[in-house]
Structure 1
């Protein structure tokens, strides 16, 4: 806590200020608190017999930040009370503060207490001048004490003491901390050769494990010939991706390759291939990858389009050659288009002559591989060479024929035999998909004359033409007399018999019901319905139906007196049968509210 200010002596004991004195000059700005180790300048004390003059209020300046090793002083930063004189706003004296000038009265200075001395051992806060400047301004606004009122017209600041105070230096702003240093990335990872040929090498790698806050701008790819250290960058701009093709190299050169990551911090350590790379295409033995469906015979019909793709492998690019039956291909009929990976055999419209064994050969240096495929172009076969009737007996005819001379460039899968009656001339198929070269035609009609013809069949279908037998087969009549067999007529007579009997039923007054049963017998029995042993007859209340042995009796809206024993009686010439059931007619349930 700051010490109490010393009381101010009354101005009446001193001589009043002369009116002839000039107006005092404005007081200089309050100096900032001295730095550590320097003496704080004493504040100008008013002359004896004069009231303390309040300096004109000034706008407080922005506080200057304290030095790093200075601790703020509570006593210097505390505002001065409005009812205290301006002298109270002076900084509290420290142990290093010198004595006040002789002009100031001893009793006008504030005594330095032990608390003040302890508080001022630390360097004064730089905000103290501003607080001291504000204190006089506040003191001018507050009403003056009775003792200081007569001296209000004769304010005179101590110009001498203010002039003797040295001008303070303007504090410099603190230097901002330096930005964190920018560091390059770590070394790129996993550099290896992906592919190469006679003029280029393709490399790939992985990005560095540590990139840092500066990020990654790209990569520089550098090469030099084996045995030298003349590294040169092959990319003008930074490479963004982790794959690069080093082009326009000389075949046979051995190159050392390395990759450097670049960012704002500079170049990273390089990653280098462990061995020099020979600029030459990788020699890989050629191999024909014949598709599975071409490993067997490939069959197509005449006129079909042939487009077969056969892939292969090998480095450098293999030389592809084709032959047909051991002879060069006819380029007018067959087109061959080869790429780095496959070869295509193309025929626009196939013909029978295109059939044969095609052989594909791929060769790299002294290595080669071959693959063969059989191409078979088929069409419909010709008709059988000959057809003849070998024998005729009863209702049967025996035929024989010979295979066709033209099988359509594929095997014959069967024959189709047809017959025609000479009277009508219409052909009917007797046998189809028949594999033998002879057949027996049966179930012919006596007295008719027949002609026969045979078609050939292969996987393309049935031949367009057929071979007709030159002979005709006539089925002659014989002396056979047809005698129909004698059959004993079966006796179907049967007395009536109920297959389903009547069941007891229960119904409600006003709700129609139906009684059902079934009966059989031959001849058809007559059905009669009875109620309590009395024949119902044509009573319109009852409806009687008997269809296909199913007998039904419908009782329409039965009343209280329609209950009883109902019977159904069936009778024919061979006997009779009766079935009965009991019908109960109940009263409808009545709610309690309806009863009331």
Structure 2
């Protein structure tokens, strides 16, 4: 018996290494072993347990081999051949187990964290709405987690029920969504749910149900700048005034003229954005204060414009000649009875000689209602008429004065005034004297002075008190009292004192100067 435990021990160590092979051989039904072969290995295992502790090979403690031995007890039964199968494998595995030591077990990786949904989406509110849609907007959840965020589901249900339905077929990626195809006047509860691998987040719901109706925007009339002052048009013009406005939903537009409804002559056409006041042919009766009112629910806004239809004025009511004297006539007139529905800006006054009957304008754009007409011709008789003027122009007709202005002939003795002739004679006097000069041999020079006197004085040029006369070396000119003496290419002996004498029958005057002629210097001196 002592010789049997050793092979059984080796077979037990081998069996765990061959666990998969034994499992593959186990399914055969004929493998049931008799009771006697099973009992022998069981007893052998009991006897072999103390023998395992004896060898000191630096192996692991005895407890793991005891656990390995338990599956070896059933190994002969699983093979179907009984104990001889274990004995045949034991010698083959003995050398391998002796050669290598058992490897330590690796620690198992920690289990992955459980997947969790995100926190509730934030800041859900209605951005805009109209009669058929509602636009909502929200913010990303504060806590997203490791599972990330796949998208959002928008759910709606009618107010008073809990029948929530998804408004979007696919997950919404952005934080804004428009719920379309809604019924006007319906009240809806809206909520948003964030979805990821961990499931659905808690819903973020609007605090109150939303009424599907266009958001009311206060109405506002945008009166154009040119209509903020009085709008003036002529009789017969076409009036077409467009006044824009804003407001949601479409405001109700109404018009009044002087606080009363419009008459049939005035047409109004309104759209969603503006209202048009249209008059095909303007008349003076169309003038007045027009008021436009736009209303949305309980809000309204008003704007007024003043329309003034004008035409040419009538002539002055009366014109008369109040006085005539010398070559003048004084007129006065009164304003016209019809000013053309606007202020009179001036008057035009015309005159006509009774002989010819031709009218001539003497005053236009004249603002006063009295005038004095001058420069009339002696012996003629004149008629006068006056036109009125406003923004449209001059009146078609004029008012003619009943009186006539007759300019009488009056004998006049004309005595021309006596004039005493002034004595303008004057002795010669130099206003500009001669200045000393210096020149170079060969370079012409000129002496200048000016003199006055009446009668015109005679001018004489002298050199060293000797009259120059007609010497061709000198050129003498005297024009308008400016006297000049040109010395052509002076030589060494042309220097000296030059004098100019002016003389007439009232006296004489003399001016003098000194002329110095220098020798040339420099490279050209030898050539000279």
Smaller-chain TM-score range? Answer: 0.5 to 0.7
| Structure 2: distance between partners of 1:590 and 1:212 | 106
CA separation of 1:269/1:402 partners in 2, compared to 1, >3 Å: closer, same or farther?
A: same
| Structure 1: distance between partners of 2:482 and 2:139 | 93
Tell me the equivalent position of 2:293: 361
CA separation of 1:225/1:593 partners in 2, compared to 1, >3 Å: closer, same or farther?
A: farther
Q: CA deviation at 1:411?
A: 0.9
Q: CA deviation at 1:454?
A: 1.4
**Gaps spanning 5+ residues in structure 1: where?**
1-37, 39-95, 97-163, 166-180
Of 361, 367, 390, the match for 1:435: 367
| Structure 2: distance between partners of 1:542 and 1:203 | 112
CA separation of 1:392/1:285 partners in 2, compared to 1, >3 Å: closer, same or farther?
A: same
Of 440, 458, 469, the match for 1:526: 458
Of 296, 300, 309, the match for 2:229: 296
| Structure 1: distance between partners of 2:117 and 2:430 | 110
Tell me the equivalent position of 1:199: 132
Q: CA deviation at 1:416?
A: 1.8
Tell me the equivalent position of 2:337: 405
CA separation of 1:561/1:470 partners in 2, compared to 1, >3 Å: closer, same or farther?
A: farther
How many residues are aligned here?
425
Moved more, 444-453 or 258-267: 258-267
| Structure 2: distance between partners of 1:439 and 1:343 | 51
| Structure 2: distance between partners of 1:499 and 1:264 | 118
| Structure 2: distance between partners of 1:396 and 1:197 | 81
Corresponding position: 1:277 with 2:231: no
| Structure 2: distance between partners of 1:193 and 1:491 | 109
Tell me the equivalent position of 1:323: 256
| Structure 2: distance between partners of 1:495 and 1:254 | 121
- CA-atom RMSD in angstroms: 4.6
In the TM superposition, 1:386-425 aligns within 5 A as 386-422=318-354
Corresponding position: 1:336 with 2:264: no
Moved more, 315-324 or 226-235: 226-235
Q: CA deviation at 1:567?
A: 3.1
- Give the match's secondary structure for 2:382: strand
- Give the match's secondary structure for 1:390: strand
Which structure: greater helix fraction? 2
Q: What per-residue deviation string (whole Å, max 9, x for no partner) do you get for residues 215-237 of structure 1?
A: 99986644334455554443456
Q: CA deviation at 1:291?
A: 4.4
Q: CA deviation at 1:311?
A: 3.7
Tell me the equivalent position of 1:308: 241
In the TM superposition, 1:149-168 aligns within 5 A as none
Tell me the equivalent position of 2:403: 471
Q: CA deviation at 1:401?
A: 2.2
Tell me the equivalent position of 1:516: 448
Q: CA deviation at 1:592?
A: 9.7
Tell me the equivalent position of 1:19: none
CA separation of 1:394/1:581 partners in 2, compared to 1, >3 Å: closer, same or farther?
A: same
| Structure 2: distance between partners of 1:538 and 1:211 | 124
| Structure 2: distance between partners of 1:218 and 1:519 | 112
| Structure 1: distance between partners of 2:167 and 2:135 | 13
CA separation of 1:330/1:579 partners in 2, compared to 1, >3 Å: closer, same or farther?
A: farther
Tell me the equivalent position of 1:54: none
CA separation of 1:513/1:364 partners in 2, compared to 1, >3 Å: closer, same or farther?
A: same
Tell me the equivalent position of 2:481: 549
- Give the match's secondary structure for 2:418: coil
After TM superposition, the score normalised by the length of structure 2 is 0.65
Moved more, 292-301 or 182-191: 182-191
Q: What per-residue deviation string (whole Å, max 9, x for no partner) do you get for residues 129-156 of structure 1?
A: xxxxxxxxxxxxxxxxxxxxxxxxxxxx
CA separation of 1:282/1:570 partners in 2, compared to 1, >3 Å: closer, same or farther?
A: same
| Structure 1: distance between partners of 2:116 and 2:456 | 117
**Gaps spanning 5+ residues in structure 2: where?**
1-16, 18-56, 58-94, 97-113
Tell me the equivalent position of 1:575: 507
Q: What per-residue deviation string (whole Å, max 9, x for no partner) do you get for residues 456-480 of structure 1?
A: 1112333344333343322101234
Tell me the equivalent position of 2:42: none
Q: CA deviation at 1:422?
A: 4.2
Q: CA deviation at 1:187?
A: 7.8
CA separation of 1:196/1:459 partners in 2, compared to 1, >3 Å: closer, same or farther?
A: same
Tell me the equivalent position of 2:393: 461
Tell me the equivalent position of 2:277: 345
Q: What per-residue deviation string (whole Å, max 9, x for no partner) do you get for residues 375-412 of structure 1?
A: 01223323323323232222221212232333222110
Tell me the equivalent position of 1:450: 382
CA separation of 1:249/1:438 partners in 2, compared to 1, >3 Å: closer, same or farther?
A: same
| Structure 2: distance between partners of 1:185 and 1:349 | 72
After TM superposition, the score normalised by the length of structure 1 is 0.58
CA separation of 1:232/1:385 partners in 2, compared to 1, >3 Å: closer, same or farther?
A: same
